[in-house]
Structure formats: C-alpha cells, structure tokens
Amino acid sequence: MSARQRFNLKPLSAAVLAAVAALAAPQAAQAQAAAPATPTDQALPQVNVGTTRDDSLKPEAATVLKGQPQALRDIPQTVNVINRALMDSQGATSLTDALRNVPGITIGAAEGGTIGNNINLRGFSARTDIFVDGVRDRGQYFRDLFSLDSVEVLKGPSSMLFGRGSTGGVINQVAKVPSLQSFNEITATAGTNSSYRVTGDFNKALSDTSAGRVAVMYQDVPSTRNVMENKDFGIAPSLTTGIGTPTEVTLSALLIHNKDMPDYGIPPINGKIAQVNEKNYYGINSDRTVQDVIELSAKVKQKLNDKWTLRNTTSFNRYNIDVIATGPNSVGTVAGGVYTAFPNVAFVSGNGNGNPTNLPLSSLAVSLGAHDRKIEDQSIFNTLELSGEIGPEGFKHALLMGLEVGRDSYTNAASTRVLPVVSLTDPTNILANGTPSATAPNTANASAVTIAPYINDTITLNKWVKLVGGLRFDTFKASINNTVTVPSTASQTNHFTSVRTGVIFQPTEAQSYYASYGTSFNPSLESLTVTSGQQNLAPETNKSFEVGGKWDPFNGNLSINTAVFQVEKSNARSQVSTGVYTLTGDIRVRGAELGVAGRITKNWQVYANYALLNAKIINASALDGTQGKVPANVPRHSASLWSTYKITPKYEIGGGATYMSNRYASNTDVVSVGNFVRFDAMAAYHYSKSLDFRLNLLNIANRDDNYDLVIASDGGRAAPTMSRTLLATVAYRF
C-alpha cells in the first residue's frame, strides 16, 4: 500500500546546486594547483580556508554542565554528544534528526498536539528539558541545526543543575560562537519530492580580540505525506569581544520563522495503527503551524585570576505560535449521512480500546477534530556563576556556585471549528458534515517565577579518585487563570532541594569508572498548562542511581561507555476518582546502555549506541487502569549505528541504521505502534579543502509501517516517518 517517492529535483533546487558548484570549481582548482596534496596532507582531516575542519565522530568534552567544557570521563553520568561532523555526515537538519543517534529517546506529542519538539528520554517526557548553552529553551517550536555546533544529552535526573523537570535527563544545544579565524561556508541541498535547503555560516575576525559570526538558513521541504510542506527561515548573529582577555562579552540572537503543516498521524484499528496508505493525511490543506522565535542572550565572562572566573548570562526568549490544525479524533461508520463513532471507552488519560472491528477498512470513517490555538510564550532569566579551585594537591576542590533568577509567562488561546467526517482509506472523500463542538474555547494565562541558588563541588582526592557533590534549592511559584476550564484559577509555591553525588575512579588516563545518584522534581504547573485537580499537590519527585565505565582505547582514538541505571518516580500523580488526584503512583525504569564512538582505524569511524529500558508502572489507581503496564512511547530495545570509511582521501562512504522495538501509544498499552527500523547511506567526494559533495539516501528500505511520532490523545495515533529520500549536498568554503 505504500506510494513510492518521486525522484525528481525541483528546477530551482538544481539551479542552486549548479550555481554554487560553478562558482566553487575554479577557485577550488586554483587552490589545488597552488598547494598540491602530499601524503602527509592526505592523512589530515578536511580543512577550511583559515580554520581546521574536524571530521572526527568522537566527542572529547561536553558543555552541558552549565556551559563549562568538561571531559566526558569526568562526568559521572551517561552523556551522548552529537557533533557537527556526525550531523553533516548524516545530512541531519533538525534536532529530531540529531537525536536519532541517542538510544532511549523517542518522539512524542504534548497537549494532545504536535507543536514543536516533544521528546521522551529514558521513559519520561523532556518537552521542557531542552536548553541552549545551559539556558532553558522551553518554547514549543521545531528546532533546526543550522545555528548549532553540537547537541548534548545528559541522562538521569539533574534538577541540581537545571531546576524543575529533567526526570530522564536534559538536551543541551551548543550554539555556534565567533572565533578569531575567519571563514565562510555555504551549503546547498536539493532532494527528492522537490525539496531544497540553503545554509550559510560566516565568521569574521574584527580585531585581535573580537569577532562576529552569522549563521543563516532557508528551506522549502515538502513532506512525503500528501499535501504537507515546511517553509522555514532562520538567522543567528553573534558578536564576541575581549577574546583572550580577562573580560569576554558575547551577544547573540536566534531568529526563526517556521511555516509548517502539522501532522496528527493515523488512527488505530484493532489496537494497531490502521494499515492504510502511509501518505494519507487526515487534515485540511489550509492547516498550518506558524512559529516565530526570538532568543536573545548576553554573556559576560570575567577572569578574576588564574583560578577563579565569574560568569553572568542574561537571556530573553519569546515564542509566538499560531496553529490551525486538524487531526483524526474518532473512528466509526456513516449510514444515511449520519456518523456513528465506535464505542471507545476512554480512561482519564484519553485513551480508549483501540477501535476493535471486523468491518473492512474501506467502510470506516474518521471524524476530524480541530487543535487550533494561539500561544505566546516568554521568559527572561539571569544566571550568575562563580567557578574556581581551592585546596592543596591531594584534596583539591573545583567549585561551581550560582544563582538563577527568572520569570516565565504563557498564554494559550484554544479554539474549535466544525469539521467533516472523511473516509479512513481516502481522507479526501467527505462522507458526512461535522457537528459543532460542545466545548467552548478556553484561554489560559500562566506565569511562574524561579529563584534557585546552587553549588557543586568536585573533589580530587588523588590522581585516581574524584568525588562529586551538589545541592540546589529551588523556589518555583506559578499561577494560571482559565476563561472556561475548571478550575478557573490555580496557584502554587514549591520549594525543593535537589542533590547530585558521585564517585569517579580513574586508574589510568584511558579508564574511568563511576557511581552516581541524582534527584529531580516535577511541579504540577511545570508546563504552565491546565492541571485540573492537581494544582494543590506537592511536586512529583524522581531519583536515579547509575553505575558505569568509560574507556578510551586505541591511543584515545575510540571511546566506549557503558552504564546500568534505575530512574524512579515514586510519587507520580494518579487519579483515584473523577477530578481527584493523589501522589500514590510509582513509575520505574531500569536499564543499561552501551556506546562506541571514534576511529577504529585511521580511515574507519563508527558512532553506535544501544539502550535497554525495562519500564513499568509499578503502582496506579484502578481508574487510571495502568498498573503493571509499560509507560507510553518507551521501547524496550533501541539502537543506532553510523559508520564511515574513507576509501581514499577524496572518496568516503558511510551508512547506518536506527532501531526501536515495539512501543505503546499510551500508558494503557492498548494501541501498539510496532517496531521501527530505518537504514540510511552516504557517499561523499571531498574535491578539495574548499569543496565537498555528498549524497544521502534516507530510509532505504522504505518501510510503510515505520512510525516516528507517537501521539497519546484520542485513543492513540502515530505519524509515519518519511518515505525513501535522496539528498544531494554541496558545501563550499572560502
């Protein structure tokens, strides 16, 4: 039933590629003539004009710990780093693309919708646990990679470092920053299904101590689902002064405009996603999600002396989201122009019985529902930090002390429309008129204030042993007002102390073993959205135990990490009667991870990860009906592999796979999504230091039952991954 992808290039896409290639060829030839390659040159990575281009897939450090670079071996938690070399090799363009490399991550939906990146990490939602350089990036928008150098995933509860949330961990986006080496890069990509994308990265040294950088992006990318299209633009300027001096100041901005079509997936039949054409789109051609993002940041780093540094970061974020979206709400039949929905007894989580039926799919109908809303989301935060070292050798303290103060505001105006009933197998065929919604539109206005001092200490006892300990005290005060939804008003003030402890044993430079413990908390108003019946509850609390090892064999060219862990939410919210909740639920995830990254030989690289997640709802109310079930969207097994090989210094090939075992669309385990397998391949021609060509073939097998996005609402739904897609990319550096 799969409709195959067309392999045609949009004329404009082909013209862009041809123009860039024509521009690049003469200059590249001149560069080769002026500096012919030698055997020594050929052994080096690709080089930009004016700067070194690192093609290693092995990460050396992470900045996820409040923006300060730290060797991975010194972090007593699992950290996955997806660097620029890996993202470029795979043809990745979105945050979702990058996170395919991280096991234990799945893509879900929040608030019954698919607005922006909604991520599950180690079995728990991480929608509000996304950061940029350690600053919370809570907006509901689709994040692009054009302005990033890398993506870091720190796993395990981490409220000591990041405040509320972080049950399964956090995702930190590392932004591009100016450097004193001038360089420019233009990248153009044309793909099947008439898609094209152009990015630019321009860095200029303005003086011996200052530099400016601008990253830009434009794309027109139709989906491989019917009628869907994404048109996006972004620019990220930044300026740094005082580079290499005691006082360094960085001003940066991220401006994004997205106009995309939302996808609310395919409904279930008999407990599985309906076996219809994967291109079926249960929306309306005029549906759209318009997202305007403004993120402004000012960072000051003052080096007080050789050991102590003071940092201050002020950030302002504003997200405006305007959504007209349609999705499948229920399944039933139409007789005489009258629609009758299947009995779909719903639990409080909004999930029913999976639409059991013996009727043929061609006789079934889908009632469409509106998910329209206008969102204004705004935050301003300031973080002041002092870091340094004290104490003698043999008992040295590396201290980090900070104070975070901030305010969030959030307005969500939801509205409804009268929508038709369409055929399940041919959603362009209208079978019946819709009926007005009985629910009046609601506008929610919410705000929150955060005040949090924290301190972390890493004690070096000797060259083999380090101890890590930290405390953070959060005051989180939030309130919400609704025009229709009950309760009309709600407010709460939460105080919570988060802890982080660990011990690291490093017998050699190539070995590191650790054990760690961390906590986090989830207030009921954490997302600044409606929590009827939950607003008076204390925060949910989470704790994690992890034991692992990290090795750097082959003279440090390869890194290997393993870990076993347990994350438990021991006082989860559970509904004991209609509108009445208690903190009696218990959700536990036990698991193990294995990761390998780096060079096996000089020319052969690999980036591979595997995660085992044994997730279970230990305790829940009878009304919830989820006790003993597997939490939604948590695969027991997940793995990713990417490997590249340089046949010659100029020719490179690569490929990999992503796998997830069966998942459920909701905590009731009624709707099964099935396993996910995707194979990708790459071939590159490094013509010169200035010019690269690359082909990426995505989803080679073109399975029509691969589902990327899992949506819990309305009985459970899922959206399929893209069909087979070919991308042709040229990168020109000057």
pLDDT tens digits, one per residue of 481-510: 988 888 788 899 999 999 999 999 999 999
Q: In whole angstroms, what is the distance from residue 592 CA to residue 518 CA? A: 17
**Across all residues in the chain, what is the average pLDDT?**
88
**Phi, psi angle pair for 221, to nearest 5°:** -125, 95
Least trusted range by pLDDT, from 28-32, 420-424, 548-552, 730-734: 28-32
Residue 557, Cβ density class (10 Å: 0-12 exposed, 13-18 middle, ≥19 buried): middle
Looking at the domain assignment, is residue 6 inside a domain?
no
Looking at the domain assignment, is residue 643 inside a domain?
yes
Residue 45 has pLDDT above 80, yes or no: no
Q: In whole angstroms, what is the distance from residue 190 CA to residue 208 CA? A: 38
For residue 650, give the nearest of 188, 42, 27 by alpha carbon. Answer: 42
Q: What is the DSSP string of 504-524?
A: EE-SSTTEEEEEEEEEEEE-T
pLDDT for residue 127: 85
Q: In whole angstroms, what is the distance from residue 513 CA to residue 563 CA? A: 10
DSSP state of 48: E
Tens of pLDDT along 343-367? Answer: 865 544 445 788 999 999 999 999 9
For residue 3, give the nearest of 393, 277, 242 by alpha carbon. Answer: 277
pLDDT for residue 194: 84
Q: Across the strands, what pairs with 236?
A: 215
- Give the CATH number of the domain where residue 596 resides: 2.40.170.20
- Which residues does 443 contact at the CB level (< 8 Å), separation at least 6? 411, 412, 413, 414, 482, 483, 484
Q: In whole angstroms, what is the distance from residue 87 CA to residue 56 CA? A: 11
- b (16+ CB within 10 A) / e for 511-550: ebbbebbbbbbbbbbbbbebbebbbebebbbbbbebebeb
CB 495 within 8 Å of CB 477:
no
Residue 40 has pLDDT above 70, yes or no: no
| Tally of domains within the chain | 1
Least trusted range by pLDDT, from 37-46, 205-214, 247-256, 274-283: 37-46
Looking at the domain assignment, is residue 105 inside a domain?
yes
pLDDT for residue 279: 87
Tens of pLDDT along 89-134? Answer: 999 999 999 999 999 999 875 544 567 788 899 999 898 899 999 9
- Centre a 10 Å sphere on the Cβ of residue 437 and count the other Cβ atoms it contains: 14
Q: How many angstroms from the chain centroid is the CA of residue 57?
A: 19
Q: In whole angstroms, what is the distance from residue 715 CA to residue 75 CA? A: 41
Least trusted range by pLDDT, from 265-269, 340-344, 677-681, 682-686: 340-344
CB 55 within 8 Å of CB 87:
no
Looking at the domain assignment, is residue 400 inside a domain?
yes
Looking at the domain assignment, is residue 377 inside a domain?
yes
- Which residues does 107 contact at the CB level (< 8 Å), separation at least 6? 96, 99, 117, 118, 119, 120, 708, 709, 710
**Phi, psi angle pair for 22, to nearest 5°:** -65, -40
pLDDT for residue 578: 82
Tokens 């001003």 correspond to 251
DSSP state of 672: B
pLDDT for residue 7: 34
Q: In whole angstroms, what is the distance from residue 518 CA to residue 530 CA? A: 28
- Which residues does 457 contact at the CB level (< 8 Å), separation at least 6? 397, 398, 399, 400, 467, 468, 469, 470
CB 350 within 8 Å of CB 111:
no
Print the domain residue range for 426. 11-733
Looking at the domain assignment, is residue 4 inside a domain?
no
Question: Which tokens sit at 548?
Answer: 């692992």
Tens of pLDDT along 227-276? Answer: 667 889 999 999 999 999 999 999 999 999 999 888 888 999 999 999 99
Tokens 């290639």 correspond to 21
For residue 156, give the nearest of 582, 528, 468, 583 by alpha carbon. Answer: 468
* Amino acid occupying residue 666: S
Residue 46 has pLDDT above 60, yes or no: no
**Phi, psi angle pair for 474, to nearest 5°:** -100, 135
Q: In whole angstroms, what is the distance from residue 547 CA to residue 540 CA? A: 24
For residue 93, give the nearest of 27, 143, 135 by alpha carbon. Answer: 143
pLDDT for residue 69: 85
* Amino acid occupying residue 573: R
For residue 135, give the nearest of 304, 310, 312 by alpha carbon. Answer: 312
Looking at the domain assignment, is residue 3 inside a domain?
no
pLDDT for residue 140: 87
pLDDT for residue 230: 83
* Amino acid occupying residue 551: W
pLDDT for residue 663: 95
Tens of pLDDT along 573-617? Answer: 998 888 889 999 999 999 999 999 999 999 999 999 999 999 999
CB 528 within 8 Å of CB 480:
yes
Looking at the domain assignment, is residue 173 inside a domain?
yes
DSSP state of 72: G
Residue 718 has pLDDT above 50, yes or no: yes
- Centre a 10 Å sphere on the Cβ of residue 695 and count the other Cβ atoms it contains: 15
Q: Name the region of 350 (left: φ>0; alpha: ψ -120 to 50; beta: rest).
A: left
> For the chain, what is the total number of helices (H) and then of strands (E)?
5, 43
For residue 693, give the nearest of 10, 16, 9, 17 by alpha carbon. Answer: 17
Q: In whole angstroms, what is the distance from residue 393 CA to residue 378 CA? A: 46
Q: In whole angstroms, what is the distance from residue 569 CA to residue 575 CA? A: 16
pLDDT confidence tier of residue 224, bands split at 50, 70 and 90: low
Q: In whole angstroms, what is the distance from residue 617 CA to residue 702 CA? A: 34
CB 59 within 8 Å of CB 69:
no
Full strand arrangement of the beta sheet holding 365-370: 338-341, 326-335, 365-370, 421-423, 430-432
Residue 715 has pLDDT above 80, yes or no: no
Residue % of the chain over a pLDDT of 90: 69
Tens of pLDDT along 407-458? Answer: 999 999 998 899 999 999 999 999 999 877 767 788 999 999 999 999 999 9
Q: What is the DSSP string of 445-501?
A: EEEEEEEEEEEEEEEE-SSSEEEEEEEEEEEEEEEEEESSSSSSEEEEEEEEEEEEE
- Which residues does 336 contact at the CB level (< 8 Å), separation at least 6? none
Residue 144 has pLDDT above 90, yes or no: yes
